[in-house]
Amino acid sequence: MRFLKKAYVFLIFAVLYAPILVLIVFSFNESKSRGNWTGLTLKWYYELFKDRQIMSALYYTVLIAVVSSLVATIIGLAASIGIFSMKKLPQNIMLNINNIPILNPDIVTGISLMVLFIFSKLQLGFATLLLSHITFNIPYVILSILPKLKQMNKHLYEAALDLGATPFYAFRDVILPEILPGVITGFLLAFTLSLDDFVISFFTTGSGVSNLSIIVYSMARRGVSPKINALSTLMFVSVLLLLIIVNIRMSNDNSERRAKNGKYSKSYGSLSSPDHVA
Amino acid sequence: MKKPWLAYPYAVWMVIFIIVPLILVLFYSVTVQTEEGLQFTLSHFQRFLDPIYIEVLIRSVVLALICTGICLVIGYPFAAILASKEFSSKKVMLMLIVVPMWMNSLLRTYAWMTLLERNGILNSFLSLLSLPRLNILYTESAVVLGMVYNFLPFMVLPIYSVLSKIDHSVIEAAEDLGGNAFTVFRCIIFPLSLPGVISGITMVFMPAVTTFVISRLLGGGQFMLIGNLIEKQYLSSGDWGFGSALSVILMLLILCSMGIMNRYEQERGGGALW
């Protein structure tokens, strides 16, 4: 029985990882056809870096991810504090609207944004792509920061003010350190989501500006190519690295908090997926 | 800290980028451009009643349901094994489930393209064992396979999180009272894990029914799902009215399934991932 269980778990993991492994292994294959292995090569990576289109997509992907997650974190941080101090009714309204982009199918979010941009005669391109990414990033930032605000001692801020701190000083030196883990988690979450997004970007970008996902899609539609394998490998490795960083951060944070509070506090932020939205 | 005004910039942002776009989609779905200007119409929704489109909707729902069923059948035992006491190194296991989930879904889908291709790895492997070749790329089975592969973690994680929280003494009590393994499962474990099962079903069904990437890449564009239909209306046919009507229908479908799921969800849905 025990053996059967282990075998079942192993089998599932094998199925989960086999395609990715195959993808990675065959990105080093000399031959263009996948069926046979003809020799080790890095030529697909070399060609990848020679490809103008892919390099520009890489540039836009990273630029959009950095800018959109930074802006989303700033707006989201302000909004979280605002929402937190609101009365029940407006708070609920804000949170419900905040949930719309998370719950709505990606394709509907993408299309509604595209309709908005075309309706307001904005040229689809870098700006619209950036605005869309900020829009779908903010809700996740807020969902990472709000629990931290709830855990915080309500009177900390007042105590700081009583001791003569200015509101800005109190925010910077008292509130921010308390909620910083949530802010950083939110930022990293937003960054990864933006890096990974396909559907919304697909609808809200214009000619000349595309991200890596869009390139993979348009290449894959034409069939399989070892260049995409190479690209996939690089993307997989970078997501993996990011994930490890986030996870180490979060487990440190949790154990720290546990040590501090002397009890197990609810870990809200177990890594859940962006994909429900995908 | 009473500073509600800090949320006002975001409130404005939400109105512009969340509410107005949805209203615009709704607006396009019920208007038509005629010579006398814009006119109210339900013709876009009427057009949807055409058997061709109804068939697309039914196919989307059926494929998503099949995918959800398979995920449940595969995922429940998997979650149960991971949650069981004898299984150590849970943290690593969970991490291993989460990693593919964070990978770009396009890449996961593309990976299956390379596997299932006519001259792909799976077929080379089969012919090496002198087994018959399998040509399922660009069929519905490939689409379902891609969906299951993409969405299985969404089923496993909520069920796991509920199962691992079950108080073990409840199970022991049931066993002490003479319940055999099956009875204990049917009367105790399964009902207690229901919130997780329900959020798993929701989290698999919704992305499965709205996907257009998996069906486009693994279905080869011939098995149109509702997502593909919407994409086509906006990007190649330019029929915004019909596309918007389809989006509204898709939103309603999601809302309905969420409503149904919420009704079953117990007060404290411990299965939620957030």
Reported confidence tier of residue A33, pLDDT bands at 50, 70, 90: low
The answer, yes or no, to whether residue A37 has pLDDT greater than 90, is no
Q: Does B247 touch chain A (CB under 8 A)?
A: yes
Confidence of residue A269 (pLDDT cuts 50, 70, 90): very low
Confidence of residue A253 (pLDDT cuts 50, 70, 90): low
Which of A151-165, B66-80, B133-147 holds the top average pLDDT?
A: B66-80
Q: Select from B11, B112, B210 the Cβ nearest to the Cβ of A107.
A: B210
Residue of B78, B106, B234 lying closest to A198 (CB–CB): B106
pLDDT at B16: 96
- Mutation to test the B interface, candidates A73, A77, A111, A202, most B Cβ within 10 Å: A111
Q: Report CA dihedral (A129, A184, B268, B205) to the nearest 10 degrees.
A: 30
Q: How much is the pLDDT for A66?
A: 96
Contact between A246 and A185 under an 8 Å Cβ cutoff? The reply is yes
Average pLDDT value over all residues in chain A:
84
Mean pLDDT (whole number) for A83-98: 92
Q: Which helix (H) or strand (E) holds A184?
A: helix A176-196
First to last CA, chain B: 26
Asked whether residue A274 carries a pLDDT value surpassing 70, the answer given is no
- Which A-chain residues 109-138 have CB contacts (< 8 A) with chain B? 111-116, 119, 131-132, 135, 138
Residue A257 has pLDDT above 50, yes or no: yes
Pairwise CB contact (< 8 Å): B247 & A274: no
DSSP string, chain B: ---GGGGHHHHHHHIIIIIHHHHHHHHHHTEEEETTEEEE--HHHHHHTSHHHHHHHHHHHHHHHHHHHHHHHHHHHHHHHHHSTT---HHHHHHHHHHHHHS-HHHHHHHHHHHHSTTSHHHHHHHHTTPPP---TTSHHHHHHHHHHHHHHHHHHHHHHHHTTS-HHHHHHHHHTT--HHHHIIIIIHHHHHHHHHHHHHHHHHHHHH-SHHHHHHSTTSS--HHHHHHHIIIII--HHHHHHHHHHHHHHHHHHHHHHHHHS-SS-TT---
N-terminal to C-terminal alpha carbon distance within chain A: 37
pLDDT for B156-204, tens place per residue? 999 999 998 888 898 889 989 988 888 988 888 999 999 899 989 989 9
- Percent of chain B whose predicted confidence (pLDDT) is above 90: 46
DSSP A123: P
What is the number of alpha carbons within 13 Å of residue B210 lying toward its C-beta? 32
For A97-109, give one letter per residue: b (16+ CB within 10 A) or e: bbebbebbbbbbb
Residue B168, pLDDT score:
85
Return the pLDDT at B22: 95
pLDDT at A35: 61
Say what the pLDDT of residue A262 is.
Answer: 42
What percent of chain B has a predicted confidence (pLDDT) above 70?
Answer: 94
In angstroms, what is the C-alpha Rg of chain A? 22
% of chain A exceeding 70 in pLDDT:
89
Q: What percent of chain A has pLDDT over 90?
A: 43
Q: What is the ipTM of this complex?
A: 0.85
Task: Give A160-191 pLDDT, tens digit per residue.
Answer: 999 998 988 998 999 999 999 899 989 988 99
> What number is the average pLDDT over the span A207-214?
88
What is the distance between the alpha carbons of residues A111 and A202, in angstroms, rounded to a whole number?
9
Which tokens belong to A93?
């309204």
- Residues in chain A with CB shorter than 8 Å from the CB of B73 are none
- Taking only the tens place, the pLDDT of each residue in B124-154 is 778 888 878 778 888 889 999 999 999 999 9
> What's the pTM?
0.85
The ranges assigned to domains in chain B are 59-85+94-264
Q: What integer pLDDT is reported at residue A255 of this predicted model? A: 65
Of A79, A271, A272, the CB nearest to B6: A79
Binned at pLDDT 50, 70 and 90, residue A200 comes out as very high
Inter-chain CB proximity A79 and B101 less than 8 Å: no
Of A250 and A109, the one with more pLDDT? A109
Tokens of A268: 């809200």
Phi-psi region of B76 (alpha: psi -120 to 50; beta: other; left: phi over 0): alpha
Q: Which residues from chain B sit within 8 angstroms of residue A224, using beta carbons?
A: 110, 113-114, 117, 120
pLDDT at A67 over 60: yes
- Domain covering B59-85+94-264, topology: MetI-like fold (1.10.3720)
Confidence class of residue B265 from pLDDT cuts 50, 70 and 90? low
For residues A262 and A224, the model is more confident at A224
- How big is the CA angle at B166 (ends B161 and B170), to the nearest 5 degrees? 170
Residues linked to residue A29 through DSSP beta bridges, in sequence order = A40
Structural contact between residues B104 and A274, judged by C-beta atoms closer than 8 angstroms: no
Res B130: pLDDT: 81
Residues of A within 8 A of B109 (CB-CB) are: 220
CATH for A42-261 is 1.10.3720.10
Q: Are strands B31-34 and B37-40 parallel, antiparallel or unpaired?
A: antiparallel
The string of pLDDT tens digits covering residues B224-262 is: 899 999 999 998 888 899 999 999 999 999 888 888 887
Given a cut of 80, is residue A130 above it in pLDDT? Answer: yes
